């Protein structure tokens, strides 16, 4: 098991270039099987979620070539519509394959997807949307079996602006007959990126980033070379780390409007922030003020994927912070580990009350999920003394070269095998 050894208390200085966004790259990889021509995606981060998605594509019959962060996908010989259960249990985003596999083969078989244990995350919205497009769905023994004689455009209203459901319906609709209208669609930047990727392949998708997405079905899609957007969650994590530890950081590759909700809160905490184009500069003296309330919301609200990291920041901010998690019901598992470090946190249901303490202290802590694991690393960086952060398999799902980038900023962190 890999572990981080962290000696806290160092200020952070330097620059960070955003990796390709995990939450953009995964649906792009899923979309690559919509054409039998080659697809080249640049800037694909070397993280385990990506590796698992590539394994799924190989199991379907695709040929994959990786050269650093450049990935070439050739799905001309893809023949299988069955998404392997052993891989879907490791990757929540494998559910994106439903829409694209249905479009390619008119049938698909997948087990219920896994990933981090942060709540139920039902896929009912995905399935109800696919049914509106003419898909027959049979759920048997933990598997979802889908088939359609043909896919036909429809008017679809989502009960909740789910990112995954919005993307899955788009992937199923790009070659459907007629027009598909998705109302109450998710507005995340990753939706816009998927639209741009598909349109570069010859699709006709418009409206992404707004509440209504319109997809006009086309007969075929062609190959493409594409560079995905930068990872706003990764960059947000480094900004929070610097706010906690003190210092100055410059990030590049993520426009400030993509993480405006976080930047607003960090300014309230007392950080100085300057932005220009896709550059963000943050200065912090590490003496932070608490904010009254943070509620996670769909974009452009405060992202749930930064809630754990921001909760870690609140642990040493002067005053009391109230955090409300509106999207996932069990996303506070990291709180018990922060308490080992001296944090004063009370969690009830979806709400956490965090009373800032003067300083956290080093401890042996366990990363239980991706973003919670990142939060524990940030807490260790800001704490007094040495910490061990155990089970990095979760952190590796979303952060490429995490310890290397932190070292470049001045953190005392190393990875060991225990």
Given pLDDT bands bounded at 50, 70 and 90, which one contains residue 115? Answer: very low
CATH architecture, domain 2-19+230-417: Alpha-beta prism (3.65)
Neighbours of 142 (CB within 10 A): 8
Q: Are 126 and 102 in contact (CB under 8 A)?
A: no
> What local confidence, expressed as pLDDT, does residue 139 receive?
82
Taking the domains of the chain in order of start, what are their residue ranges?
Answer: 2-19+230-417, 22-226
Given pLDDT bands bounded at 50, 70 and 90, which one contains residue 1? Answer: confident
- Spell out the CATH class of 22-226: alpha beta
Q: Does the annotation count 116 as an active-site position?
A: yes
> What local confidence, expressed as pLDDT, does residue 171 receive?
96
> What local confidence, expressed as pLDDT, does residue 89 receive?
65
Given pLDDT bands bounded at 50, 70 and 90, which one contains residue 328? Answer: confident
> What local confidence, expressed as pLDDT, does residue 92 receive?
62
Looking at per-residue pLDDT, the higher value among 123 and 359 belongs to 359
Looking at per-residue pLDDT, the higher value among 78 and 141 belongs to 78
> What local confidence, expressed as pLDDT, does residue 120 receive?
40
Mean confidence (pLDDT) of the chain: 93
What SS3 class is residue 42?
coil
> What local confidence, expressed as pLDDT, does residue 417 receive?
87
What is the sign, positive or negative, of the torsion defined by CA atoms of 306, 71, 394, 195?
positive
Answer yes or no: same fold for 2-19+230-417 and 22-226: yes
287 phi, psi to nearest 5 deg:
-105, 90
pLDDT at 117 over 60: no
pLDDT tens digits for 245-258? 999 999 999 999 99
Q: Are 194 and 166 in contact (CB under 8 A)?
A: no
> What local confidence, expressed as pLDDT, does residue 144 receive?
85
pLDDT tens digits for 180-194? 999 999 999 999 999
Q: Are 399 and 374 in contact (CB under 8 A)?
A: yes
111 phi, psi to nearest 5 deg:
-85, 165
Please give the angle made by the CA atoms of 219, 99 and 398, to the nearest 5 degrees: 125
Query: Which DSSP state fits 234?
Result: H
What's the predicted TM-score (pTM) here?
0.94
pLDDT tens digits for 377-394? 999 999 999 999 999 999
> What local confidence, expressed as pLDDT, does residue 116 receive?
40
pLDDT at 367 over 60: yes
Neighbours of 125 (CB within 10 A): 19
Per-residue pLDDT, averaged over 108-124, amounts to 60
> What local confidence, expressed as pLDDT, does residue 48 receive?
92
**Percent of the chain topping pLDDT 70:** 95
Given pLDDT bands bounded at 50, 70 and 90, which one contains residue 118? Answer: very low
pLDDT tens digits for 27-69? 999 999 999 999 999 999 999 999 989 999 998 999 999 998 8
pLDDT tens digits for 345-354? 999 989 999 9
> What local confidence, expressed as pLDDT, does residue 31 receive?
96
Q: Are 185 and 210 in contact (CB under 8 A)?
A: yes
pLDDT tens digits for 142-195? 788 899 999 999 999 999 999 999 999 999 999 999 999 999 999 999 999 999
Within 47-91, residue ranges assigned H as helices are 48-60, 85-88
Choose, from 116, 146, 314, 315, the residue flagged as catalytic: 116
């Amino acid at each position: 098991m890999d572990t981080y050894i962290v000696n806290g208390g160092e200020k952070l200085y330097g620059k960070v270039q955003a990796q390709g966004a995990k939450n953009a790259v995964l649906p792009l990889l899923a979309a690559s099987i919509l054409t039998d021509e080659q697809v080249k995606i640049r800037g694909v981060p070397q993280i385990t979620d990506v590796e698992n998605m590539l394994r799924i594509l190989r199991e379907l019959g695709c040929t994959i070539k990786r050269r650093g962060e450049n990935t070439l996908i050739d799905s001309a010989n893809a023949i299988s519509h069955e998404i392997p259960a052993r891989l879907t249990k490791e990757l929540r985003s494998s559910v994106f394959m439903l829409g694209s596999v249905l479009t390619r083969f008119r049938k698909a078989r997948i087990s219920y997807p896994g990933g981090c244990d942060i709540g139920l995350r039902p896929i009912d919205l995905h399935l109800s949307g696919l049914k509106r497009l003419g898909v027959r769905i049979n759920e048997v023994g933990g598997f979802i079996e889908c088939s359609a004689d043909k896919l036909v455009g429809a008017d679809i209203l989502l009960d909740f602006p789910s990112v995954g459901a919005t993307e899955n319906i788009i992937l199923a609709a790009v070659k459907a007959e007629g027009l598909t209208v998705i109302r109450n669609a998710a507005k995340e930047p990753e939706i816009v990126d998927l639209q741009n990727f598909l349109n570069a392949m010859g699709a006709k998708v418009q409206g992404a980033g707004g509440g209504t997405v319109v997809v006009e079905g086309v007969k075929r899609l062609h190959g493409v070379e594409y560079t995905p957007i930068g990872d706003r969650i990764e960059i947000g994590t480094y900004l929070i780390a610097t706010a906690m530890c003190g210092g100055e950081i410059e990030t590049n590759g993520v426009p400030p409007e993509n993480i405006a909700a976080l930047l607003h809160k960090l300014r309230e905490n007392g950080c100085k922030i300057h932005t220009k184009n896709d550059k963000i500069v943050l200065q912090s003296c590490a003496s932070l003020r608490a904010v009254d309330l943070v509620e996670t919301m769909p974009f452009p609200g405060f992202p749930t994927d930064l809630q754990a990291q921001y909760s870690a920041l609140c642990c040493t901010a002067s005053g009391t912070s109230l955090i409300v998690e509106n999207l996932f019901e069990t996303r506070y598992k990291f709180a018990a580990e922060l308490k080992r470090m001296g944090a004063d946190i009370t969690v009830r249901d979806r709400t956490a009350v965090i009373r800032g303490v003067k300083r956290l202290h080093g401890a042996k802590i366990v990363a239980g999920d991706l973003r919670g694991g990142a939060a524990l690393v940030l807490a260790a960086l800001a704490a007094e003394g040495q910490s061990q952060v155990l089970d990095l398999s979760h952190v590796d799902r979303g952060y490429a070269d995490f310890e290397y980038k932190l070292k470049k900023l001045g953190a005392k962190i190393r990875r060991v095998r225990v």
